[in-house]
Structures are given as C-alpha cells and as structure tokens.
Amino acid sequence: MGAAWLALAGAAALPAEPPGPNVTLLTGARMPLVGFGCAGRLGAAVLREAYAAGYRLFDTAQAAEWYDEGALGEALAGANGVFVTTKVHPRDFGLAATAASIDRSLAALRVRSIDLVMLHYPRCWGELCAGARAPEGDWRDAWRALEAARVAGKVRALGASNFAPHELDELWAHASTAADRPAVVQAFMDPLVQSGALRAWCAERGVVFQAYSTLGTQHALAAGARNPVLGSAALARIARARGRSVAQVVLRWAVQRGAAVIPRSADADRMRANLRLFDFALDDVELAAIDALDGADARVLARTPRAADAPRDVAFANGLDRPVLLRWDGGAGPAWTLPARGTLRLQSYASHAFWAAAAAAPAEAIWRWTVPAPGEAATGDAEDGSPLAVTIAPMAKTEL
C-alpha cells in the first residue's frame, strides 16, 4: 500500500485496531471473521476511515439502490490484504448477464479478482427489479456463470445471500464440483431473529454463516421508534455488567454462536468499537439470556418471529376494481402496488403482518393480514368488506 493512499486515508490519528481472527472457507481461503458492511451507499471517505480503523473485509453489492461498488474501489485503490465481497443482483441472472455483471464489478472495484461473489437473492421480488429488463435466466444459470468466473480466476469463492435452507439444498446439489459449492451463506441475524435453521444448515456442511443487520437495522420502525436490539433492556444489563456497548455484546454473541459479522457505521469511534470483540467473552448464562430473546418482542417483530426459518409463499389477490398499496406493517419497508383484479406473490414468514390501502390518496388502510404458521388459520380483516383475498403455501412446494 502506497504512501499516497495512506495520505488519502487520513492515516488516521489513531492506530488501526489489531486484526481479528479469520475463518477458513471450504476453498481453503482465509476470510476475516469481522468485516465492514457497505450498505447505505457509504462514500469513499467513510470507507477509507473503516480501512484506517482496521477493517480488512468489505461487503458490497451490485444493487445500486443500497451499495456503491465504485466508492469502495476508489477507497481501497492501492490497499493490500483486503478481502472484498460483492453480490450479483437478480436482474442480472443468466449465463451472459451474470458474466457481464462480474466484469462490471471488477472494473468498479478496481481489482483483477474478487475474493467472494454471492448471489444477492434467489429471485426478484416486490420492487427489487422494478424498471429493469426481465432476467435472462434464474439463479441456476447465474451460478454456472459464477463457476466459470471462478475457473477464469475472476472470482475466488462463491456464496449465496438470502437463500432458504431448501434452496441451499438445491444449490448444493447444483454445484458442478466441490469447489463450486457455496463457501459462505449470508442472511439476516440478530438477537431477536436468530436464523437457527440456516446456521444449522451451514454448520452441518462446514459452510461459513455470515450475519448481516446484526444490530437491529432490519426491523421496520416508525420514525422515532427505538431500535429493538440496541434499545433492549436485557442486552443493556449485560453490556453494563461487562463495561461494553450493547453493539459489542451483540456482535460478540453472534461470533460466539458461530457467525461472521459485517457491522457498519459512519462514526469512527463506533467503527473501532465494533472491532474490539476479542478481548472478552460472554459466559454461558449471558449467551443463554441472549438466545432467549429470539422472537421475544412480538409487537416489534410482527414481521419476523421465532420459529420462522421456513419461508412461505404468499399470494395477495386484489378483487377490487381499483389498485391497492400493500406494505409491511410497522412503518418503513418495501411497498408494492397491487393492480385492480391483479395478484402479487412474494416470500414471507409466519407472523409477518401486512396492511393494504387504496393506492390513490388518501391512502386509508382498508385491510390488515398476518401470515399464519403452518397448520394455523389465516388472520385478517377487511374494514370495508373488500374482497382482498390471501392464499399461502409452503415455499418448498411453490416456486416464485
């Protein structure tokens, strides 16, 4: 790494945190256990600060809605010893389309080879691919393109993000060789949503499980509402007893439960604090107390409950003669427009709650529905008696 780059980094007033431990992938490559998540389209200056703080793994993606590969390439130009991850957007699934997307990522990141490339999602859903051309193929075609990129030296390891266990079973069997199996599986995990089935799937096969949004950022919160993880009284008690921040306690818990983590922050002090995870350990009582939080706050976690590892296929059928706006309950989050007499299918989980409203202003809520667990009856109501129907089926039996 050159002196000019160090000057750009600000080579900061404080020394970098000592490097944390690595994990070994199925390929034999070594990957930092703690990395920096680049969601939120963080600029090059913030990413340089993260490097200066001591981060050596950076997780980005092709999804320009949330990430900026070019900013990471600018920030890390000339840096050595960095592990870079990116993810293929579902709109670019297909043999040729995925290959072209990898070439674009190489150019944006200013590297000759990318350490880890994952499929970001198994398919388009909701508004994820809105305005884009239809994908040329599905994730199976995209995986073949990743395999070819690995053989060509453009990619060193392959992985999957946001895949359910049954989809990972198919992916595992689909891989052409053992070297082409997913080395990393990435998914949402925090103390309230612990992704137990996915972690077990990975542990059985020696696959690294990497958690994102470990500090509670995935929960749909109304403006001004507390983060249910960072605001947890139970976690605060453990943090006070340890003389640590709640974030450090949560990240340490995830690591001790076998997960790699990729926290993010634009604050330099928090960046450094999130790396200081290996000079303390939680005891069995503390670990059990955090484990017990899985799905504990049903009010905030209407979207994501405890026993929700198996996704469900939900079909919303609008029997009205006018469009309907469909949104996750709880404030922020994706929204979909369900056309008059139209049907929308998406992946959801037991206890996810949705509300519907007339798409035209004023958007008065006319319907609310909660996804049932397997074997339970659907719950919901239409305030004006509108025929907005919902059907469900196990995801394993229905392809979206």
| pLDDT tens-place values along the chain, 400 residues long | 333 333 333 334 466 776 689 999 999 999 999 999 999 888 999 999 999 999 999 999 999 888 999 999 999 998 889 999 999 999 999 999 999 999 999 999 999 999 999 999 998 876 677 777 788 999 999 999 999 999 999 999 999 999 989 899 999 999 999 999 999 999 999 998 888 989 999 999 999 999 999 998 887 555 456 788 998 889 999 999 999 999 999 999 999 999 999 999 999 999 999 999 999 999 999 999 999 888 654 334 334 433 444 556 667 777 777 777 676 654 444 566 777 777 777 666 666 666 666 554 444 445 656 666 665 554 444 333 334 445 433 222 222 1
Task: Determine the length of the chain.
Answer: 400
**Residue 334 structure tokens:** 């994706």
Place of tokens 């199996």: 181
8/5 Cα distance (integer angstroms) = 5
Cα distances (angstroms) measured from residue 24 to each of 29, 31, 157, 171, 184: 6, 6, 12, 21, 10
Closest CA to 297 of 289, 305, 307: 305
| β-bridge partners, 117 | 86, 158
* CB-based burial label for 399 (10 Å; 0-12, 13-18, 19+): exposed
pTM above 0.95, yes or no: no
Which pLDDT does position 297 carry in this prediction? 46
d(CA 250, CA 238) in angstroms, rounded, equals: 10
Q: How far apart are CA 362 and CA 69, in angstroms?
A: 39
CB burial readout 123-144, b (16+ within 10 A) else e: bbbeebbeeeeebbbebebbbb
Tokens of 277: 């995870």
**Which amino acid does the sequence have at 80?**
N
Q: Would you state the structure tokens that stand for residue 157, as one six-digit string?
A: 């390891």
Are the C-beta atoms of residues 344 and 354 closer than 8 Å to each other? no
Q: What is the reported pLDDT for 64?
A: 87
Cα–Cα distance for residue pair 208/203, rounded to 1 Å: 8
Interaxial angle between packed helices 139-151 and 95-109, expressed in degrees from 0 to 180 and rounded to the nearest 10? 50
Residue 306: predicted pLDDT: 39
Fold of 3-291: TIM Barrel (3.20.20)
